[in-house]
Amino acid sequence: MSKNTELTCIVCPLGCKLSVLQGEDDSIIEISGHSCKRGLSYAQTECINPERVITTTVRIRGGQMPLVSVKTDKPIPKTLMMKCMKIINRIEVMVPVKVGDTILENILETGANLVATGNAT
């Protein structure tokens, strides 16, 4: 059974409606609706391996404020987002924290590190 996925392209404000036809092994048979090359590659990535950067917060101890903001330094597979959140929400770090500090290495074996995006003292 082949399957058809409808997507909205986010590469530019045009927001083309993309249609991706995939075969049984998820290989792409046909992409339509795009109006540029970037749209084509967006459709491919979104259907085969969609990835997102997670931006959230972790608890800190000893600081003026209770949280510091963090992000994954690379996009991680979209399907792992909620699982990552569970791990991140269990983390607590001591002050001081500076922008760029690594909070957790190689989260869920994705190769992405969790790094601080804010400062905490």
> Which residues are at the interface with another protein (CB under 8 A)?
7-10, 13-15, 52-57, 59, 65-67, 69, 71, 78, 81-82, 85, 89, 99, 117-119
Q: 56 or 113, CB closer to another protein?
A: 56
- What residues have CB less than 8 Å from 87, skipping those under 6 apart? 104, 107, 108
Q: Give Cα 118 to chain centroid, integer Å.
A: 19
- Extract the tokens encoding 14: 């045009």
- Extract the tokens encoding 81: 């987002």
Cα dihedral value 27, 30, 34, 37, nearest 10? 60
Q: How far is the CB of 38 from another protein (least distance, A)?
A: 13
Q: 18 or 22, CB closer to another protein?
A: 18
Q: How far is the CB of 68 from another protein (least distance, A)?
A: 9
What distance in Å separates the CA atoms of residue 78 and residue 54, rounded to the nearest whole number?
Answer: 9
Q: 10 or 29, CB closer to another protein?
A: 10
Q: Which of 104, 49, 46 is nearest to 77 (CA)?
A: 49
Q: 12 or 27, CB closer to another protein?
A: 12
Q: How far is the CB of 1 from another protein (least distance, A)?
A: 22
Q: How far is the CB of 30 from another protein (least distance, A)?
A: 21
